Structure 1
Amino acid sequence: MSAGVVESAGPLRVRTGAGARRRRVRAAIVWGWRVALLVVVLVLWQLLSGPVLDPQFVSSPAGIVERLQEWTQDGTLWSNTWITLQEIVLGFLLGAGAGALLAYLIAPIRVVWDILDPFVMALYSIPKVALAPLFIVWFGIGTDMKVLLAAVTVFFLVFLNTAAGVHEVDAGLIDAVRLMGAGRWVVAWKVVLPASMTGLLTGLRVSIPYALIGAVIGELVASNRGLGYLISDSSANFDTDGVFATLVVLSVIAALLNALVNLLGRRANRWKPL
């Protein structure tokens, strides 16, 4: 019997290794095409900027790099990026934490959820940019206002996606665990949380750019520092290179935060039931 097990394990390992190699090759191809597409776009942009496109309106890769170098040397880029990054991360953590916690507390109780659902959707439908003037009145123009505006933007996305994940948990699985004597908190920790992880991770991933949007909107409305302020100041001075350079930095921040959430998602997927 043991010999049979050993003989069958070999092909399994071979198939597993071949699958891993195929995934690595596919990832390399995808990344190669991504880099190639980016290079083609940048080269075309640079070639067309001047002869065809007016750099005063569309800038150019060379102009963006020059502006980034200038801001890096005088410290403008680092100081303003650090401020905006703090607002994004704090707003994301605050909004995501509150949204996930309330979703896990409210969504399992369907009566409470049905009562609150129209009110939640009404609040979610309010354009968040319309809250900025009100937040200025309540919290001033400091960092707190931008953090809370980003948090409110993130909150609803995480709350609604997590609640959807909770509602999709198999009721039969919950009943089976309860029949084995599990209490409410055991069911929540061992069944509901792992099974609803996809909804939570979707909410976190989708809300990343919105945390950035909330913080930058707050800086655009009222601020004298941060990347939003750099966009506003560059636009007021007709500095298209500065506007595009700031957008590049914001895109890099969003990509890094998204990569971090994807990494956490791969680790959290180990909790998901098979």
Structure 2
Amino acid sequence: MTTRAGVYEADEFAPGRPSAAAAAHAAAEARRHQVLMALRVLVGVVFLAFWEFASDRLIDAFFVSSPVAVGGRLWQWLSDGTLFYHLSFTLTATGLGFLLGSLIGFTIGFALGRSNDLATIFDPYITAIYCLPKIALAPLFIMWFGIGIESKVAVSAVIVFFLVFLNTYAGVRDVNPVHIHATRIMGAGEWQLLRKVILPSAAAWVFTGLKVSVPYALIGAVVGEFMSSNRGVGFLIAQSSAMFDTASTFAGLVVLAVVGAAINGGLKRLERHVLRWRA
């Protein structure tokens, strides 16, 4: 704006210019985020320090090992290639099971969500299969597909299928009918309706199903390796526990935890990118 002296002063609320209050709020949020990240690291450091202190002082190291011993075993696995060899097998089974289960779950969930007739026909059968303990299917898959990677993929895919299917089905059903009718009134075809209304509305549900299914995909692959395998992180854990090697058992669990967190973090970033329009 212009003052009486004729000097131009920038308007605090001019379009495209952040106000002083907004800038202060952003700075406060940045500081808060830094504090929370520091606290997150501190919690991990305190936990590891207490674990190291408690080992052989409060609890027998045979049962809990120690961070130093676990770290040493991980370094040994990294040095001799053991970790990469077994982890590649587990990640391959997890990835294939996750992709296969997600694709089938999304397709069937979307089809049944859009068709009341199909939902009425198949609902009791899907519900009945869903009620089965998925892990109980592992021996059957081993009989069908053998002890190779195929049986691990099958267990992982079945678990992921139901999580993605249920979320996709609920997301498609949850679309506001007012939006659908309004889009049709404006002359949109079926493809435009799917692309502009249904898929964006159901995307949040679908990503929730994907994020929830990631650890279960890993669980399915590892359980298959527990039951019949000579490769994979699950095999390492089973072998270590059978030999009462606590450090190796914890090392395998740490690897699985890190892998699951990394995959979940990648999905969160993808979700923020795909659903950026919601901001």
Higher fraction of helix: 1
Residue 85 of structure 2 corresponds to residue 79 of structure 1: yes
Secondary structure class of the residue paired with 1:51: coil
* TM-score, scaled to structure 1: 0.93
Paired with 2:115 and 2:18, the residues of 1 have a C-alpha distance of 46
Residue 123 of structure 2 corresponds to residue 117 of structure 1: yes
From 93, 97, 109, the equivalent of 2:99 is 93
- Once the two structures are superposed, residues 216-274 of structure 1 have per-residue CA deviations (whole angstroms, 9 ceiling, x without a partner) of 000001000000000110011000101100000000100110011001100111355x7
Secondary structure class of the residue paired with 1:8: coil
1:12 CA displacement: 5.8
- Once the two structures are superposed, residues 60-119 of structure 1 have per-residue CA deviations (whole angstroms, 9 ceiling, x without a partner) of 111101111111122111110111111111111111122112222221112322332232
Aligned residues with identical type, % of pairs: 46
Aligned residues: 271
Is the CA contact 1:217–1:228 (under 8 Å) kept in the aligned structure 2? Answer: yes
Residue 204 of structure 2 corresponds to residue 206 of structure 1: no
From 10, 14, 19, the equivalent of 1:9 is 14
CA-based RMSD: 2.0
Identify unmatched segments of 5+ residues in structure 1. none
Paired with 1:64 and 1:214, the residues of 2 have a C-alpha distance of 24
- Once the two structures are superposed, residues 23-72 of structure 1 have per-residue CA deviations (whole angstroms, 9 ceiling, x without a partner) of 33232222211111111111011001001111111111111011111111
Paired with 1:20 and 1:86, the residues of 2 have a C-alpha distance of 42
- When residues 26 and 228 of structure 1 are mapped into structure 2, their CA distance, relative to the original with a 3 A threshold, is same
Residue 247 of structure 2 corresponds to residue 245 of structure 1: no
Alignment of 1:36-185 (within 5 A): 36-185=42-191
1:165 CA displacement: 1.1
* TM-score, scaled to structure 2: 0.91
From 257, 262, 267, the equivalent of 1:261 is 267
In our comparison, the structure showing a higher alpha carbon Rg is 2
